[in-house]
């Protein structure tokens, strides 16, 4: 599970100044959390709409699933911090990148065709009615292919491990997120000072 952290010095100064003037700092932090979650969900929704599957074929809507895993914000007992978790375990790989290694299977199956994308090999065979066969000398460096109408097509590469680069746009730009939650905090403070709703 990933927690969204906003911790730039400028942001902390602005929020601490707002909290120092607040009648109800906890209500401000709750509003900050709601705005942060809203910004995260909007960012992931936009990525789902604009980042198409490179291989084509049926989409899995990965970013929509990440959007659905954004938790409701939790304000700390001190009332001065708020946590928003992104609970989809796959998101960490997008955020940090790193090496994925086969553990339970002999090799990772990496789809290279639209037909294979988003399908386990067993699902591919079941849904297409085509039997995959192995090509290569070493199972962890080979491929799985299928023959249709006399034509052989490789659908999966087999690898012991793969390295994925991190996605620099996995989270919204820091400045954009900070600006949005700071504006929300200020608007709640303004209402508190005017005697309106605390949140």
pLDDT tens-digit series, residues 19-68: 889 888 899 999 999 999 999 999 999 999 998 777 666 778 899 999 99
In a domain, 198, yes or no: no
How many domains are contained in the chain? 2
Tell me: do 88 and 111 sit in the same domain: no
- The whole-chain average pLDDT of the chain stands at 88
Tell me: do 141 and 185 sit in the same domain: no
- How much of the chain exceeds pLDDT 90, in percent? 61
In a domain, 199, yes or no: no
Tell me: do 153 and 85 sit in the same domain: no
User: Taking the model in full, what pTM does it have?
Assistant: 0.81
Q: Is the separation of the CB atoms in 44 and 61 below 8 Å?
A: no
Quote the domain boundaries for residue 118: 101-161
Tell me: do 93 and 32 sit in the same domain: yes
Tell me: do 70 and 85 sit in the same domain: yes
In a domain, 189, yes or no: yes
Tell me: do 89 and 132 sit in the same domain: no
Tell me: do 24 and 76 sit in the same domain: yes
- Residue 158: CB partners within 8 Å, gap ≥ 6? 107, 108, 109, 110, 134, 136, 139, 140, 141, 142, 143, 144
Instruction: For 129-160, write each residue's pLDDT tens digit.
Output: 999 999 998 888 899 999 988 899 999 999 99
Tell me: do 57 and 147 sit in the same domain: no
Tell me: do 76 and 45 sit in the same domain: yes
């Amino acid at each position: 599970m990933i927690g969204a952290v906003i911790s730039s010095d400028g942001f902390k100064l602005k929020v601490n100044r707002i909290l120092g003037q607040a009648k109800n700092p906890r209500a401000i932090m709750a509003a900050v959390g709601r705005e942060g979650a809203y910004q995260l969900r909007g960012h992931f929704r936009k990525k789902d709409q604009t980042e198409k599957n490179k291989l084509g074929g049926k989409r899995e809507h990965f970013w929509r699933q990440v959007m659905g895993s954004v938790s409701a914000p939790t304000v700390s007992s001190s009332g001065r911090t708020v946590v928003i978790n992104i609970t989809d375990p796959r998101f960490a790989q997008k955020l940090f990148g790193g090496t994925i290694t086969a553990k339970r299977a002999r090799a990772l199956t990496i789809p290279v065709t639209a037909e294979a994308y988003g399908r386990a090999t067993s699902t591919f065979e079941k849904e297409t009615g085509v039997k995959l066969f192995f090509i290569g000398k070493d199972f962890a460096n080979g491929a799985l292919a299928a023959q249709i109408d006399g034509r052989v097509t490789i659908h999966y590469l087999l690898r012991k491990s793969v390295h994925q680069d991190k996605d620099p746009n996995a989270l919204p730009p820091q400045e954009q997120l900070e600006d949005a939650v700071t504006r929300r905090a200020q608007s709640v403070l303004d209402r508190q000072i005017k005697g309106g709703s605390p949140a």
